[in-house]
Amino acid sequence: MPASPDHTTLAVLARRASDRHPEPVILLPQAPGSGVDAIARSLVAGLGDGNMRLLAAPGPHADVLVQRAWHRDAWLAMPALDRDAVVLVTGATAGYLGPVLADSARTVVLVREPLAAIGLTGEVLPKKRVLERLAESSHDVPPKFHRLANPQSRALLAPWHDPAELIVSPGPPSDADRWRDALFGDVLPHLDAAAIGEATTVARDLAKSLGARPKPVVRAARAVLEDEDQQGRAEDSESLELLLRFNWLDAELYDRCLGSKPSDRHDRALPGAPLAPPHA
């Protein structure tokens, strides 16, 4: 599922008419460094007896208002019968359909330890002296550095809150509680978020929910876990410590996911729970 700075691809899978069930649409966003793309590919391959369409969506770094409008319009442009048949949407920006589908969707995300996630994004890490300068003064932050500062939290927030307002800082900023409330109080209760260590359990559950063969999907999840285990630490420890300070919210997100059990996540994503509208 190729992506570029200008566009990405959403894979939309629908059941055949004879197999349709009134179940929530599974949204499987491929967040930065999550490794979910491997699980998604396995699910797509296992659901080949359905109908799949590929949609060219705005790139993952496009403005959030553009993303929200595009995903809303793309979904509403589908005939009602086609929408009712959709069972899975996956891609870098699939999470933007969460506010559109509300209680008709189940958004599944895997969260990694912050430094492991950054290491798998492919982004070039800044030199130690750059990190030190930013730690002393977070003014005039290079735009690309936002992709290295809480990228997982930013991706989850974007369908609901504009993460451009989340400043880059070496540790929680003065408005940290605003972002904790937004992520943990507003967004996370409506996601099925799990730490990466639960990848095989999540994969097996997804395969069962969608009627796909579980073995290939679980095998893909195990490969994702191997990526986590083999993730190196080529940079010096001081640079990594500095980089981790800039990922304070991703660290709290990962800790929160580590501390929740699958049953806890299902309990808090109650059917019919009101979803707040996106914030500009």
Which CATH architecture best describes the domain 7-268? 3-Layer(aba) Sandwich (3.40)
| Structure-block tokens of residue 45 | 């391959």
**For residues 19 and 31, which has the higher predicted lDDT (pLDDT)?**
31
The tens digit of pLDDT for each residue in 162-173 reads: 999 999 999 999
Rounded mean pLDDT, 28-49: 81
Residues 6+ apart with CB under 8 A from 243: 115, 118, 125, 131, 148, 235
What are the backbone angles phi and psi of residue 3, rounded to the nearest 5°? -140, 155
Question: Which amino acid, 225?
Answer: L
What was the pLDDT predicted at 211? 85
pTM for the structure as a whole:
0.85
Domain boundaries, given as residue ranges, for the chain: 7-268
Over range 27-33, report the average pLDDT: 82
pLDDT at 135: 83
